[in-house]
Structure 1
Amino acid sequence: MSSRPAVPGAAFDVILEAVREHTHVLLGATIGFSDEQWAQPTGLPGWTRSHVASHLVENARGLVRVCRGLAEGRPARMYPSHADKMRSIERGALAGGLRLQINLDTTASELQTQLPMLHGNSTPVELRAGDPMPADQIPLARLFEVVVHSVDLDVAGHEVHLHTDIALDLLAFESERLGRRPDLPGMLLLPDEGPQIRLGAEGDFSTIGGPADELVLWLARGIVSPRLRGAWDRTSVV
């Protein structure tokens, strides 16, 4: 279970701009990748950098489908099935570096034109099965993908910098998602900039504190930084 704090969070237009900004930074960081660099492995089992990029491409395409469905008043799924999603990612990962870069750019741009129309739209959508959210949180979901997968791409010199309100929103977003996992140990997150978040199993729990943006990366990828207090290597449960 999770206990999500009631925080004002970042304004919708601020999140939209963050999606644009972090996408721009990612594209600028990967533009110089050679095909050999795209083929390098990541910390995600079986995935190269090409797989990560292809996933971001398919994520953007899927979110565009959802946005268009909302605009037309009909439910739309991101992907026909999980198997179709994985096949598309594998196909995309076979593309050369230039094609990957073009696909990243064009699909992100197409999605960016759709996202503003979600402002104030509370229609429930399921981007993951069994994980409903209001439609106006789709930009936050995309931001999470871009931020976390920027780290997966492991670009030399690239660091994630998040506005405080956005970091707190992403932390609450990921806590809500992970909080549905029955195997998650009990945790009390104490972000330096905001209210605590309780998630995981009932009973005994560990307390982890530190900057909200670093707590996001620890929850998502098990990255332990010197500024986190009480964090442990949790890569086995990511």
Structure 2
Amino acid sequence: MTEITPQELLEELRRAADVVAGVTAKLTERDVPAPSELPGWTRGHVLAHIAGIANAMARQLEFAARGESTELYDGGFEGRTRAIEMAAGHGIEEHRADVETALERALRAFGALDAAGWQARITYRGGVVFDGGLALWRELVIHATDLGTGRGPETWSRPFCEHLFDFLAARVPAGERLVLQPLGLPPVAIGTGGKSTVINGMLTDIAAWLAGRNPTLGSLRATAAADGVDLPELLPWPAGVPVDR
């Protein structure tokens, strides 16, 4: 898999932000309380979370630029949850304004970085700004799908899917090894255990399954020792706050 550069990541963030803004622009007042693709969450919850994570990541960068640090969300995971619940019931115009302002803030912060800035330390996962950029990329692309407006995982790009293969290797249980075999592409092995399962399918279907989303092209097939088997159970999403959706 090809490593993405900071400049490429910045362009991906801008594209993902444009997609989120485009989807949000088409939502109506009646769409906000309707169920999203995430169990227990309305579209309003997803919109509130998108605005929240964009603002949170922007703040990480703003503090890092001053040589300071701050937690991702005020109050940690509980604070994150409270903020989402409080904002979920807002009207569509308020959601649009919140998402637009948060995305602009985040893109401005990432766009101002020099080479050293991408490597500045942040508190998110004890990593650096580049890790925060990858996280925001994941959040924007996946949650644009979670809004449930017809833009499914089949729209995810190859670089994004390959990034998920790497990041979500943490979901492979101990003792297991998954050989991901996207149609027409080289296989990718994740996990280090001795029990091997091959997952065949379209690139986006494999990525969606790893991300806990519903594959949209219906192409997945799992085999072990050349026999068809059920798709293996995965560990929870590798959380950063410490619980994530």
Q: Deviations over 1:162-191 (max 9, x none)?
A: 443343123312334x35x76x96533234
2:122 maps to 1:122: no
The change in CA–CA distance for 1:82 and 1:154 in structure 2 (over 3 A counts) is same
1:213 aligned partner, one-letter code = T
2:73 aligned partner, one-letter code = Y
Partner secondary structure for residue 226 of structure 1? coil
CA contact (8 A) 2:64 2:121 kept: no
CA contact (8 A) 2:64 2:122 kept: no
In structure 1, C-alpha distance between the alignment counterparts of 2:182 and 2:146, rounded to whole Å: 23
Partner secondary structure for residue 175 of structure 1? helix
Point out the structure with max Rg over C-alpha: 2
Other-structure match for 1:43:
37
Q: What does 1:62-81 align with in structure 2 at a 5 Å threshold?
A: 62-80=56-74, 81=76
In structure 2, C-alpha distance between the alignment counterparts of 1:227 and 1:133, rounded to whole Å: 35
The change in CA–CA distance for 1:229 and 1:9 in structure 2 (over 3 A counts) is farther
Structure 1: where are the runs of 5+ without partners? 1-6
Other-structure match for 2:227:
none
RMSD of aligned residue pairs (Cα, Å): 2.8
Q: What does 1:179-198 align with in structure 2 at a 5 Å threshold?
A: 179=172, 186-192=177-183, 193-194=185-186, 196-198=188-190
In structure 1, C-alpha distance between the alignment counterparts of 2:154 and 2:21, rounded to whole Å: 14
Structure 2: where are the runs of 5+ without partners? 223-229, 238-245
Q: Deviations over 1:64-110 (max 9, x none)?
A: 11101110111221112211111111111121011101111110011
In structure 2, C-alpha distance between the alignment counterparts of 1:214 and 1:133, rounded to whole Å: 29
Other-structure match for 1:232:
231
Give 1:53 shift. 0.6
Other-structure match for 2:240:
none
CA contact (8 A) 2:33 2:89 kept: no
User: Match for 1:16 among 10, 15, 18?
Assistant: 10
Q: What does 1:81-230 align with in structure 2 at a 5 Å threshold?
A: 81-116=76-111, 117=113, 119-120=115-116, 121-127=118-124, 131-156=125-150, 160-176=154-170, 178-179=171-172, 186-192=177-183, 193-194=185-186, 196-199=188-191, 202-224=193-215, 225-230=217-222
In structure 2, C-alpha distance between the alignment counterparts of 1:233 and 1:138, rounded to whole Å: 29
The change in CA–CA distance for 1:152 and 1:185 in structure 2 (over 3 A counts) is farther
Seq. identity, %:
21
The change in CA–CA distance for 1:118 and 1:221 in structure 2 (over 3 A counts) is farther
Give the structure-1-normalised TM-score: 0.81
Give 1:119 shift. 4.1
Give 1:38 shift. 1.1
CA contact (8 A) 1:147 1:160 kept: no
> How many residues were matched structurally?
225
Give the structure-2-normalised TM-score: 0.79
Partner secondary structure for residue 19 of structure 1? helix
2:21 maps to 1:27: yes
Give 1:194 shift. 4.6
Other-structure match for 2:226:
none
Give 1:118 shift. 6.4
